[in-house]
Amino acid sequence: MLKRNLLGALVAATSIATSAMAQPQANNAPDTRWYVGISSGLVWEDSKREVDGSGHLIYGLSFGRMLTDHIGIDVQIDRYSMDFDRPTPTGVAETRQLGYGVVGRYYFRPDHATRPYLMLGAGLQEHDNGFDQGRDVYATAGVGVSHRYSEKLSTRIEAAWRHDNDRATFDQSSGFDDLMVQASLVYHFGSQPKPQPVAQRAPVVQPTPEPEPLFEFNAMVLFEFDSHALKPEATQTLNEAAEVLKAHNELVLIEVGGHTCDIGSEAYNENLSRQRAQAVFEHLTDQGVAARRLEVRAYGESSPAVANTSRANRQQNRRVALSVLERADR
C-alpha cells in the first residue's frame, strides 16, 4: 500500500509540473541562494542483489545552490534498505545502503518556473549486511524537472541510474546498478534577487537644421519707419520672390523671419518683427504661394546679422529674411 500511494503521488506531481512548464518566472535575475531539500521515492534494485521484492523506499537530504542560471551543485545523503531473499551468514536478512556525495544538475529554460534538467553525480555508498560491511564509490546519472511554486519553495522530480561499485557482498567482479525515482521538496533561504533595471538609452536628438538663406530684404526697403505696412515699391521685390518660390516646389517649407535692431524694448521689437514677417507672408500667399509652405517667426533683436554697434549696422539688422527649412527628396 505504501509503494502504491508513493507511486501515485509521484505521477500526480509529475503531471502538475509538466502542465506548468509554460509559466515564466517572475524574476529573470540569476538566483544563487542556498537551499535545502528533503526527498523520498522508490528504488528498484539490481536483480544481482538477490533481494526480496523490488521498489523499496529511499529517502534523503540535500544542500546546495545554483552557481549560474544553468548549473546547480548539491551535497546529498540518502538511505534505503531491503531484505535478501536467501539466508545470510549472520542470519540477518536486511541490508542497509547509505550514500553521500555530490550531484551537479544542468537546467534548461532559465526564464521559466518549470525547468527540465540533466544530472551527474558521484560519491561513496556504505553497505551493512549479513555478507559484508564496507564502503564503495558510486556514480549516478539521470534526468528530472524542477518547478518553483513561490520565492521559497520548489520541487524536483527525477529518475536516476546509480552504479554501486560494491564487489565484496557476493564476491563478484562488478557492482550493482539500481534505478531510483524520487521527489524532493526544496526550501530556498533568503530573498530571491530582484531583476536589475535595464538601462534606457537616451534617445538621439537630431540637431535642428540651420535655415538656408534664400532672400533677405532690408526693412527700410519694404516698410516705413516703425511701421509694418508694406511700401508700394516693395510689391515688385516681393513678387519676384513669389515667382521663385512657385517655380521651386521642392522647397516645401520656407521660414519668413522678422528681425530688428536693439533700439526699443525686447517685447516691442519682437512684436514689430512678427508684424512685418506676417505682412510679407500675406503678400506671398496673395501671389499664389501656398500658405502651408510658409512659417512666420519673430526674432526681434535676438539674432542680429552684425553687431549693433553703429547706425549702419543697426540698419542691416532691420530685415525680413526668407530661409529654406525643408526640401523635398528628389
pLDDT tens per residue across span 283-293:
999 999 999 99
Residue with cell 535642428: 208
What is the pLDDT averaged over residues 44-62? 89
- Residues 17, 52: one domain? yes
Amino acid 166: pLDDT: 92
Residue 70 lies in a domain: yes
**Which band of pLDDT confidence, cut at 50, 70 and 90, is reported for residue 198?**
low
**Which band of pLDDT confidence, cut at 50, 70 and 90, is reported for residue 330?**
low
CA dihedral 52, 53, 54, 56 (to 10 degrees): -60
Task: Answer yes or no: are the C-beta atoms of 137 and 112 closer than 8 Å.
Answer: no
- Residues 218, 131: one domain? no
Phi, psi of 182 (to 5 degrees): -135, 150
- Residues 218, 162: one domain? no
**Which band of pLDDT confidence, cut at 50, 70 and 90, is reported for residue 23?**
very low
What is the pLDDT averaged over residues 93-97? 88
Q: Tell me: pLDDT of 5 over 70.
A: no
Say which CATH number the domain at 254 has: 3.30.1330.60
Residue 206 lies in a domain: no
Rounded to 5°, the CA angle 181-183-187 comes to 150
Number of domains in the chain: 2
Task: Answer yes or no: are the C-beta atoms of 148 and 185 closer than 8 Å.
Answer: no
- Residues 33, 96: one domain? yes
Helices (H), the chain: 2-19, 219-222, 234-247, 266-286, 311-317
Q: How far is CA 210 from each of CA 105, 207, 244, 253, rounded to the nearest angstrom? A: 63, 9, 21, 13
Amino acid at 54: S
Q: How far apart are CA 55 and CA 250, in angstroms?
A: 87
Q: Tell me: pLDDT of 11 over 50.
A: no
Amino acid 207: pLDDT: 67
- Residues 10, 110: one domain? yes
- Residues 314, 222: one domain? yes
Say which CATH number the domain at 101 has: 2.40.160.20
Number of H helices and E strands in the chain, helices first, is 5, 12
Amino acid 12: pLDDT: 47
**Listed residues 188, 204, 226: the one ending a domain:** 188
Task: Answer yes or no: are the C-beta atoms of 295 and 301 closer than 8 Å.
Answer: no
Domain containing 277 equals: 212-327
Q: Tell me the pLDDT of the chain averaged across its residues.
A: 85
Amino acid 181: pLDDT: 96
Residue 197 lies in a domain: no
Residue-wise pLDDT tens digits, 104-129: 999 998 888 899 999 999 999 999 88
Residue 176 lies in a domain: yes
Of 74, 9, 75, the closest CA to residue 40 belongs to: 9
Amino acid 292: pLDDT: 92
What is the pLDDT averaged over residues 264-283? 92
Amino acid 28: pLDDT: 57
Q: Tell me: pLDDT of 264 over 90.
A: no
What is the pLDDT averaged over residues 44-51? 89
**Which band of pLDDT confidence, cut at 50, 70 and 90, is reported for residue 209?**
low
Amino acid 93: pLDDT: 86
Q: How far is CA 63 from each of CA 12, 37, 123, 302, rounded to the nearest angstrom? A: 25, 6, 15, 74
Q: Long-range contacts of range 74-79, CB-CB < 8 Å, 24 or more positions apart?
A: 74/37, 74/102, 74/103, 74/104, 74/105, 75/100, 75/101, 75/102, 76/39, 76/100, 76/101, 76/102, 76/103, 76/121, 76/123, 78/39
What is the pLDDT averaged over residues 30-37? 90
Percent of the chain surpassing pLDDT 70: 88
Amino acid 78: pLDDT: 96
Q: Is 330 exposed, middle or buried (0-12, 13-18, 19+ CB in 10 A)?
A: exposed
- Residues 146, 295: one domain? no
The winner for highest mean pLDDT among 27-41, 66-80, 238-252 is 66-80
Residue 196 lies in a domain: no
The interaxial angle of helices 234-247 and 266-286, nearest 10 deg, is 60
Return the minimum-mean-pLDDT range out of 129-143, 148-162, 228-242.
228-242
- Residues 235, 145: one domain? no
Give the full edge-to-edge strand order of the sheet including 319-327: 212-218, 319-327, 251-259, 294-300
- Residues 53, 156: one domain? yes
Residue 195 lies in a domain: no
**Listed residues 152, 172, 188: the one ending a domain:** 188
Query: How much of the chain is in helix, strand and coil states, percent to nearest 5?
Result: 20, 45, 35
Task: Could you list the beta-strand ranges (E) of 108-250.
Answer: 114-128, 133-148, 153-164, 176-188, 212-218
- Residues 25, 141: one domain? yes
Secondary structure of residue 98 in the 3-state scheme: strand
Residue 160 lies in a domain: yes
Q: Tell me: pLDDT of 17 over 60.
A: no
Residue 205 lies in a domain: no
- Residues 305, 247: one domain? yes
- Residues 68, 132: one domain? yes
**Which band of pLDDT confidence, cut at 50, 70 and 90, is reported for residue 94?**
confident
Helices (H), 57-158: none
Return the minimum-mean-pLDDT range out of 21-25, 82-86, 110-114.
21-25
Q: First and final CA of the chain: distance in angstroms?
A: 86
Amino acid 196: pLDDT: 65
